[in-house]
């Protein structure tokens, strides 16, 4: 990986040509066969994470190399990693600000004004085309993408497959470059999420005649497995929303990249039986991990995907008459997944390595 922050335009052009050539024979998640005697180069790593086929939102390093001067790059990693090395010109995301929620009579919703203020402080305007990266394509990255969509961002929103380690271009270090804040007026996309009351009105219809409902947590939390470390001790109740099926979000990720799109279509449309033409709602304990499934489903062609921003944390601990907000344990549908997240791009407490 080039670490000279003063690389000239000629080296950038050469790098882009190499990336395009390498990408021609690769697909998402394909194992690299380049190099001799098993040696893997930065170009091999970048080529391995190129994205081909009809996939939305997710792009590879070659795409970013070709469009670097046309997009605003956002780094969703922690600040220390950002300071050590980053895509040249990237701006560090204040992640906690993009997870804020506002209490309403119907339940928690994305805090559009606070999120918009944080985005505006990065110098991002509503019409800017944006690409987000992390250490992988884990849920920190997808939460940033969701937050932008939630506030009605007009420009394109993309995430970088392979994360920072897949980038083979110019790198910056040290404190962030100065940016000029802008006044970002949000225009919330309310169709991007649902509330507690929206769900309560539809209990008994999920995955039958009504919307699909996907629980993206680890199976032990979904099943309320006695004694499991996956059970949040702060929850008054354990289990899942009635009618929800369980597809753990980590199945969306293979190491630092997106799981093969064909496998994802099989997982969600085939194994889980979710209709891509109908409304699908995803949730987890918080409002971070489920955004991986939110973006994955949209990327592979699902028409209407929404996030329950309050999450199971809100549902399990709701005040008042809980008969309207039941928790189920007797009926369970768990779809097995195999995935791993590299680079600590995780929003919740689940720990795995890639």
Domain membership of residue 290 as a residue range:
190-341
What's the pLDDT at 192? 98
Alpha carbon distance 182, 59 (integer Å): 27
Q: Same structural domain for residues 147 and 119?
A: yes
| Domain end residue (candidates: 172, 204, 219) | 172
Q: Same structural domain for residues 225 and 160?
A: no
Burial class (CB within 10 angstroms; exposed 0-12, middle 13-18, buried 19+) of 31: exposed
Distance of CA 338 to the CA centre of its chain: 17
The number of CA neighbours under 13 Å toward the Cβ of 277 is 0
| Domain end residue (candidates: 141, 172, 203) | 172
Q: Same structural domain for residues 166 and 18?
A: yes
What's the pLDDT at 43? 72
Q: Same structural domain for residues 49 and 149?
A: yes
What's the pLDDT at 16? 40
pLDDT band at 324 (very low <50, low <70, confident <90, very high): very high
Q: Is the pLDDT assigned to residue 77 strictly greater than 50?
A: yes
The answer to the question of residue 354 being in a domain is no
Q: Is the pLDDT assigned to residue 227 strictly greater than 70?
A: yes
The answer to the question of residue 2 being in a domain is no
Q: Same structural domain for residues 153 and 221?
A: no
Average of pLDDT values for 193-215? 94
Q: Is the pLDDT assigned to residue 316 strictly greater than 60?
A: yes
247 in Cβ contact with 267 (< 8 Å): yes
| 231, two tokens | 């059970």
Q: Same structural domain for residues 271 and 317?
A: yes
Alpha carbon distance 239, 327 (integer Å): 6
Could you give the C-alpha distances from 237 to 73, 312, 316, 319, in angstroms and in order? 41, 10, 5, 12
Q: Same structural domain for residues 198 and 165?
A: no
Alpha carbon distance 75, 90 (integer Å): 6
Q: Same structural domain for residues 254 and 303?
A: yes
The answer to the question of residue 353 being in a domain is no
The answer to the question of residue 1 being in a domain is no
- Among 22-36, 155-169, 214-228, the minimum mean pLDDT is found in 22-36
| Domain end residue (candidates: 172, 203, 224) | 172
Pairing of strands 257-258, 253-255: antiparallel
Distance of CA 260 to the CA centre of its chain: 15
What's the pLDDT at 3? 33
- Number of helices (H) and strands (E) in the chain: give both, helices first: 11, 18
pLDDT band at 40 (very low <50, low <70, confident <90, very high): very low
In this structure, what CATH number is given to the domain that contains residue 226?
A: 3.40.250.10
Residue 254 backbone phi and psi in degrees, to 5: -125, 100
In the 8-state DSSP scheme, what is residue 260?
P
Q: Residues 334-338: contacts with CB within 8 Å, 24+ apart?
A: 334/219, 334/222, 334/223, 334/245, 334/246, 335/245, 335/246, 335/247, 335/267, 335/271, 335/272, 336/271, 337/247, 337/248, 337/250, 337/251, 337/267, 338/251
Alpha carbon distance 240, 246 (integer Å): 9
Mean pLDDT of the chain: 86
The answer to the question of residue 352 being in a domain is no
The answer to the question of residue 351 being in a domain is no
The answer to the question of residue 320 being in a domain is yes
291 in Cβ contact with 145 (< 8 Å): yes
Which of 203, 195, 209, 211 shows the shortest CA–CA distance to 307?
195
pLDDT digits (tens, 9 = 90+) for 231-248: 999 999 999 999 999 999
pLDDT band at 353 (very low <50, low <70, confident <90, very high): very low
Q: Same structural domain for residues 64 and 143?
A: yes
pLDDT digits (tens, 9 = 90+) for 151-195: 999 999 999 999 999 998 999 998 866 799 999 999 999 999 999
Q: Residues 28-36: contacts with CB within 8 Å, 24+ apart?
A: 28/52, 28/53, 28/55, 28/58, 28/60, 28/161, 28/257, 28/258, 28/259, 28/260, 28/261, 29/254, 29/257, 29/258, 29/259, 29/260
| 39, two tokens | 């040696």
- Among 34-38, 207-211, 240-244, 287-291, the minimum mean pLDDT is found in 34-38
Average of pLDDT values for 111-131? 98
Average of pLDDT values for 69-83? 96
Average of pLDDT values for 298-304? 96
Q: Is the pLDDT assigned to residue 302 strictly greater than 90?
A: yes
Which of 149, 342, 113 shows the shortest CA–CA distance to 250?
342
Q: Is the pLDDT assigned to residue 310 strictly greater than 90?
A: yes
Q: Is the pLDDT assigned to residue 110 strictly greater than 80?
A: yes
Query: How many domains would you assign to the chain?
Result: 2
The answer to the question of residue 349 being in a domain is no
What's the pLDDT at 345? 57
Q: Same structural domain for residues 168 and 223?
A: no
| 29, two tokens | 């998640």
Q: Same structural domain for residues 215 and 318?
A: yes
Q: Same structural domain for residues 222 and 312?
A: yes
- Among 12-21, 64-73, 179-188, 304-313, the minimum mean pLDDT is found in 12-21
- Among 87-101, 175-189, 256-270, the minimum mean pLDDT is found in 175-189
């Amino acid at each position: 990986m080039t670490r000279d922050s003063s690389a000239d335009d000629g080296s950038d052009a050469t790098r882009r040509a190499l990336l395009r050539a390498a990408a021609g024979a690769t697909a998402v998640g394909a194992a690299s066969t380049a190099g001799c005697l098993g040696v893997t180069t930065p170009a091999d790593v970048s080529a391995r994470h190129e994205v081909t086929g009809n996939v939305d939102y997710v792009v590879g390093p070659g795409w970013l190399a070709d469009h670097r001067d046309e997009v605003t790059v956002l780094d969703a990693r922690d600040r220390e990693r950002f300071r050590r090395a980053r895509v040249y010109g990237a701006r560090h995301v204040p992640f906690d600000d993009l997870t804020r929620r506002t209490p309403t009579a119907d339940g928690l919703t994305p805090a559009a004004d606070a999120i918009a203020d944080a985005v505006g402080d990065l110098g991002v305007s509503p019409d800017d085309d944006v690409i987000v990266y992390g250490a992988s394509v884990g849920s920190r990255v997808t939460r940033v993408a969701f937050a932008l969509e939630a506030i009605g961002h007009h420009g394109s929103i993309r995430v970088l497959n392979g994360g920072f380690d897949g980038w083979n271009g110019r790198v910056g270090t040290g404190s962030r470059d100065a940016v000029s804040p802008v006044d970002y007026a949000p225009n919330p996309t309310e169709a991007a999420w649902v509330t507690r009351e929206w769900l309560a009105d539809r209990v008994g219809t999920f995955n039958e005649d009504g919307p699909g409902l996907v629980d993206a947590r680890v199976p032990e939390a979904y099943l309320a497995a006695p004694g499991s470390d996956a059970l949040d001790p702060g929850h008054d109740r354990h289990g899942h929303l009635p009618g929800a099926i369980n597809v753990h979000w980590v199945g969306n990720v293979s190491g630092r990249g997106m799981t093969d799109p064909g496998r994802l279509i099989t997982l969600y449309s085939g194994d889980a039986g979710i209709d891509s033409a109908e409304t699908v709602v995803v949730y987890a304990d918080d409002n971070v991990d489920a955004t991986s499934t939110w973006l994955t489903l949209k990327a592979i062609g699902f028409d209407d995907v929404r996030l329950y921003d309050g999450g199971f944390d809100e549902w399990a601990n709701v005040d008042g008459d809980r008969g309207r907000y039941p928790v189920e344990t007797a009926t369970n549908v768990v779809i097995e997944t195999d995935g791993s997240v590299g680079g600590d791009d995780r929003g919740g407490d689940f720990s795995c390595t890639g």
